[in-house]
Amino acid sequence: MTLAAATNENLANISNTLIYSAMAVYTLAFFAYIAEWLFGSRSKVGRTAAALTAQDGAAKKPAAPAVTVKSAGGTSVLERPKVVVRAAAGARDVPDGPGAHGGDEQGDLYGRIAVSLTVLAWAVEAAGVLARALSVQRAPWGNMYEFNITFSTVAVGVYLVLLALKKNVRWLGLPLITTVLLDLGLAVTVLYTASDQLVPALHSYWLYIHVSTAIFCGAVFYVGAVGTILYLFKDSYESKVASGGRPGRFATSVMERLPASASLDKFSYRVNAAVFPLWTFTIIAGAIWAGDAWGRYWGWDPKETWSFITWVAYACYLHARATAGWKGRKAAYIALVAFACWLFNYYGVNIFVSGKHSYAGV
CB 80 within 8 A of CB 66: yes
Q: Report whether pLDDT(45) > 90.
A: no
Furthest CA-CA distance within the chain: 82
- Around 19, how many Cα atoms within 13 Å sit in the side-chain half-sphere? 29
Output the CA–CA distances (angstroms, integers) from residue 335 to 270, 295, 339, 341, in the order listed: 12, 34, 6, 10
| 3-state secondary structure (DSSP) of residue 93 | strand
Distance CA 158, CA 351 (A): 26
Provide the pLDDT for residue 102: 82
The backbone torsions φ and ψ at residue 84, rounded to the nearest 5 degrees and listed phi first, read -125, 170
Q: Which of these, 10, 220, 22, lies nearest to 124 by C-alpha position?
A: 22
First to last CA, the chain: 28
Each residue's pLDDT tens digit, 70-124: 444 444 444 444 544 444 444 457 888 888 888 888 889 999 999 999 999 999 9
- How is 191-203 classified by DSSP, letter by letter? S-----PPPGGG-
Q: Could you report the per-residue pLDDT of 289-341, keeping only the tens digit for each?
A: 888 777 778 778 888 889 999 999 999 999 988 877 787 899 999 999 999 99
What pLDDT score was predicted for residue 49?
58
Residues 6+ apart with CB under 8 A from 103: 40, 41, 44, 65, 67, 68, 78
Q: Kindly list the distances between the CA atom of residue 127 and the CA atoms of 118, 178, 308, 341, 347, in Å, as whole numbers in the listed order.
A: 14, 21, 33, 30, 24
Residue 306, Ramachandran bin (φ over 0: left; ψ between -120 and 50: alpha; else beta): alpha
Q: Which residues pair with 84 in a beta bridge?
A: 94
Closest among 262, 223, 257 to 239, alpha carbons compared: 262
CA angle 341, 270, 217 (to 5 degrees): 45
Structure confidence by residue, pLDDT tens digits, 117-150: 999 999 999 999 999 999 888 888 878 898 999 9
* pTM tops 0.85, yes or no: no
pLDDT tens, position by position, 247-284: 788 788 888 889 999 999 999 999 999 999 999 999 99
